[in-house]
């Protein structure tokens, strides 16, 4: 039996998240169905539980194979049985103690915003489209590094899913603008439910001048509730971009 790592890209709009769902609407369900089609009845473990509607450029999963596979042939075989909204981008033999979630050092998420009166149709399923001209992205950019460091992110978690420990360590957080495209990047070892989307919602409050930087810093300082005015940003703009491990599991 060999452990195999897979890098997956998927359109989250077609699924109710990564996790297996009743009715088979999880990305995990699609992957396990493809594995079964190539003769592997196996459970797949993922690096991150993306929410319904959240996309992935670089989700990582692993499974224990009962057959001997050449990674490139396995990749092609799985892609022949996956729906068009999911692709295996890379496959590799992994160490027997490798675990897609537990072995990860950190995960990078990216959130895309388009701020203009009109939007390219092909971009709409993958960005948050804001039509207004009143946003101050410079202010939001100044506020974004507030997330860096170890903080209690209680205010940045969906209330019904808060664990006992809501402290997380963020290595990197930046918001940048290039023309009409705004990008928020965040890197952390682990996240709370909806943490990135709530963080984006808070940055939007700052960009719209409804809140200031000190308000955002205060949420991290005393873990108070963020209030009813801040919305959780739409799932369609969020991508699980990359998962990093202590060693290069892909080779090359």
Catalytic site positions: 51
Pick from 227, 212, 196: nearest CA to 140: 212
Q: List phi, psi (to 5°) of 103.
A: -85, -10
Number of H helices, E strands in the chain: 5, 10
Query: How many other CB atoms are found less than 10 A from the CB of residue 38?
Result: 15
Q: Long-range contacts for 221-230 (Cβ within 8 Å, ≥24 apart)?
A: 221/151, 223/152, 223/153, 223/154, 223/155, 223/166, 224/155, 225/155, 226/155, 226/156, 226/198, 226/202, 229/205, 230/198, 230/201, 230/202, 230/205
Longest dimension (CA), the chain: 58
Candidates 34, 31, 36; CA nearest to 46 is: 31
Spatial contact of 135 and 202, defined as CB atoms under 8 Å apart: no
The burial of 89, by beta-carbon neighbours within 10 Å (0-12 exposed, 13-18 middle, 19 or more buried), is given as middle
Helix 27-37 to helix 71-81 angle (10° resolution) is: 110
What is the residue whose two structure tokens read 């969020």? 238
Residue 146 sits at the vertex; the CA angle it makes with 148 and 50, to the nearest 5 degrees, is 60
């Amino acid at each position: 039996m060999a452990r195999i790592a897979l890098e997956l890209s998927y359109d989250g709009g077609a699924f109710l998240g990564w996790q297996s769902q009743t009715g088979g609407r999880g990305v995990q369900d699609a992957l396990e169905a493809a594995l079964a089609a190539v003769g592997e009845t196996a459970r797949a473990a993922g690096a991150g539980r993306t929410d319904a509607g959240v996309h992935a450029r670089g989700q990582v999963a692993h499974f224990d194979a009962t057959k001997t596979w050449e990674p490139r042939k396995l990749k092609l075989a799985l892609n022949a049985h996956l729906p068009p909204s999911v692709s295996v981008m890379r496959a590799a033999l992994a160490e027997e103690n490798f675990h897609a979630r537990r072995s990860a050092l950190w995960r990078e998420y990216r959130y895309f915003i388009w701020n203009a009166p009109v939007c390219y149709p092909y971009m709409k399923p993958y960005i948050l489209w804001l039509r207004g001209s009143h946003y101050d992205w410079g202010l939001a950019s100044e506020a974004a590094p507030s997330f860096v460091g170890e903080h209690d992110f209680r205010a940045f978690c969906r209330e019904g899913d808060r664990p006992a420990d809501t402290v997380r360590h963020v290595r990197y957080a930046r918001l940048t603008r290039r023309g009409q495209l705004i990008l928020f990047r965040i890197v952390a070892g682990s996240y709370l439910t909806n943490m990135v989307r709530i963080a984006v919602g808070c940055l939007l409050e700052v960009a719209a001048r409804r809140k200031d930087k000190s308000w955002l810093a205060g949420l991290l300082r005393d873990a108070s509730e963020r209030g009813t005015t801040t919305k959780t940003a739409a799932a369609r703009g969020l991508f699980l971009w990359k998962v990093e491990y202590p060693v290069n599991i892909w080779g090359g």
